[in-house]
Amino acid sequence: MNYKTQMEAAKKGMLTKEMKVVADKENISEEKLMKLIAEGRIVIPANINHKSLSPEGIGDGLRTKINVNLGISGDSVDYCREMEKVKMAIEFGAEAIMDLSNYGKTQEFREKLIEYSPAMIGTVPMYDAIGYLEKDLMDIKAKDFLDVVLAHAKAGVDFVTIHAGINKRTVSLFKEDKRRLNIVSRGGSLLFAWMEMTGNENPFYEYYDELLEILREYDVTISLGDAMRPGCLDDSTDAGQITELIELGLLTKRAWEKDVQVMIEGPGHMAMNEIAANMQIEKRLCHGAPFYVLGPLVTDIAPGYDHITSAIGGAIAATHGANFLCYVTPAEHLRLPDLSDVREGIIASKIAAHAADIANGIPGSRDRDNDMADARQKLDWEGMFKIAIDGKKAREYFESIPPEDQHSCSMCGKMCAVRTTNKILNGEVVQLKVES
């Protein structure tokens, strides 16, 4: 193999087996895909040690992908339940899973996850640092953080979130330009605390070149984290967010020089009227790198329903340039999500991604919708259940109040518009009166 990363191969005009798979999945020519990977506008996160991976592309002109967050926390240590979430995510077609474990046997869980999962695996090494290094935050040395990244890379993680843009310049502006909700990024807040307590520069920024060498060795895509993402509507598109985005754009170019694939992470909480502009700003400042967004959540007042506020924002974001949606569950801001929450979050995010693909004219994106329309026109309920994103739930609703006439549902019964029209067009008489 005469290349280290997918980007290096693309720059050299070499077609990898991962590129062939993605080109086939996306109905895109291999030549065009290779060109966009070489330019950094598409990434294929594919660690050389993730043997069970079914490669996916993320970027412009491809289907919008979704990510599912899960992992072990100190307040809820249940490895079996988290693996059930993994299986559910794969069943519903999530393209990526982020293991955010920060407690217990994180390495063992991660290794099992990578061995099992055909979906891309992402992590935030900063979350794992205290447990992996067995040190408190204050006692961790700058280069210790790189050891954690190396461990994740060796294990087979396909992409890592690294908050390298929260450097001393960003922090200085953050302090000067006050925020309503300060820093809400977990990894960002830990780095901010470490920097303030030690007086040192962000180690991921200071030793960025050494970090890139690790990622290049295993072809790990760097997902440049948004430590300054807005955590409420009032903080969106502020100086801290935009300043960090400028830094991420500079770091993107440095990564590309090393042939390391890059994604950029984005907001957060944001009013609907700001989303399109934010997508355009990211693409401009970060040179077209794929954009990975959390939400955005379009209102702050819906705890328990934030899978909906996120799906609204995600659909708008993906229509205007975002390429990768991180799911949000109904439990966001409230607790660790259970299996039901994960299911609701995945479905909401899949709906947002699919709706955006239709709006963006992605080839083949309307096919299932057309199939659903055909099944409805025939009143083919079994066909509808097979086509539906969540056919199990659709069936449960249909069967919960059985219709008298199996060719309609209990909402309209014999007054079903499709049934009525079909009968007339077939030359049949429509009879609505109930015989006594």
Q: What tens digit of pLDDT does each residue of 254-299 get?
A: 999 999 999 999 999 999 999 999 999 999 999 999 999 999 999 9
- Please indicate, yes or no, if residue 240 is contained in any of the structural domains: yes
409 in a known ligand binding site:
yes
127 in a known ligand binding site:
yes
DSSP E strands in 163-258: the ranges are 221-224
Domain CATH number, residue 133: 3.20.20.540
227 in a known ligand binding site:
yes
Domain boundary among 318, 343, 359: 359
Full domain range(s) for residue 286: 6-359
69 in a known ligand binding site:
yes
- Please indicate, yes or no, if residue 305 is contained in any of the structural domains: yes
Structure tokens at 376: 């409805």
- Please indicate, yes or no, if residue 434 is contained in any of the structural domains: no
- Please indicate, yes or no, if residue 168 is contained in any of the structural domains: yes
333 in a known ligand binding site:
yes
Domain boundary among 359, 388, 412: 359
Q: 312: number of CA atoms within 13 Å, CB side?
A: 14
59 and 133 co-located in one domain: yes
Distance (Å, whole) CA 101 – CA 78: 11
Question: What are the Cα distances from residue 137, in Å, to 52, 212, 296, 386?
Answer: 34, 23, 30, 50
Q: What tens digit of pLDDT does each residue of 162-187 get?
A: 999 999 999 999 999 999 999 999 99
DSSP SS3 for 95 = coil
68 and 141 co-located in one domain: yes
Write down the pLDDT at residue 265.
98
199 and 145 co-located in one domain: yes
If we measure between CA atoms, which residue out of 376, 373, 369, 384 comes closest to residue 412?
Answer: 376
282 in a known ligand binding site:
no
If you count them, how many residues does the chain have?
A: 436
The full DSSP string for 302-356 is -TT-HHHHHHHHHHHHHHTT--EEE---TTTTTS---HHHHHHHHHHHHHHHHHH
Write down the pLDDT at residue 436.
54
Q: Are the C-beta atoms of residues 236 and 174 closer than 8 Å to each other?
A: no
Cβ-proximal residues to 250 (8 Å cutoff; 6+ apart), any chain? none
Domain boundary among 340, 359, 378: 359
Pairing of strands 42-43, 58-59: antiparallel
218 and 267 co-located in one domain: yes
If we measure between CA atoms, which residue out of 27, 26, 48, 20 comes closest to residue 216?
Answer: 48
232 in a known ligand binding site:
no
If we measure between CA atoms, which residue out of 126, 110, 130, 89 comes closest to residue 47?
Answer: 110
64 and 88 co-located in one domain: yes
Exposed/middle/buried for 214, CB within 10 Å: 0-12, 13-18, 19+?
buried
Cβ-proximal residues to 303 (8 Å cutoff; 6+ apart), any chain? 332, 333, 334
- Please indicate, yes or no, if residue 432 is contained in any of the structural domains: no
Q: Are the C-beta atoms of residues 261 and 16 closer than 8 Å to each other?
A: no
78 and 130 co-located in one domain: yes
284 in a known ligand binding site:
no
80 in a known ligand binding site:
no
Write down the pLDDT at residue 104.
78
368 in a known ligand binding site:
no
Q: In the chain, how many domains are there?
A: 2
The residues facing 64 across adjacent strands are none
348 and 385 co-located in one domain: no
Pairing of strands 262-266, 42-43: unpaired
Exposed/middle/buried for 216, CB within 10 Å: 0-12, 13-18, 19+?
buried
Largest CA distance in the chain: 86
- Please indicate, yes or no, if residue 433 is contained in any of the structural domains: no
186 in a known ligand binding site:
yes
148 and 220 co-located in one domain: yes
Distance (Å, whole) CA 34 – CA 40: 10
- Please indicate, yes or no, if residue 188 is contained in any of the structural domains: yes
398 and 290 co-located in one domain: no
97 and 135 co-located in one domain: yes
Task: Please tell me whether the peptide bond between 314 and the residue prior to it is cis, using omega within 30 degrees of 0.
Answer: no
365 in a known ligand binding site:
no
The residues of the chain scoring below 70 in pLDDT are 434-436
Question: What are the Cα distances from residue 189, in Å, to 186, 235, 266, 300, 359?
Answer: 5, 16, 16, 20, 36
Question: For tokens 């290049």, what's the residue?
Answer: 216
- Please indicate, yes or no, if residue 153 is contained in any of the structural domains: yes
Task: Please tell me whether the peptide bond between 296 and the residue prior to it is cis, using omega within 30 degrees of 0.
Answer: yes
371 and 354 co-located in one domain: no
321 and 386 co-located in one domain: no
Q: What tens digit of pLDDT does each residue of 352-408 get?
A: 999 999 999 999 999 999 999 999 999 999 999 999 999 999 999 999 998 887 778
The full DSSP string for 370-387 is HHHHHHHHTT-HHHHHHH
pTM to 2 decimal places: 0.95
226 in a known ligand binding site:
yes
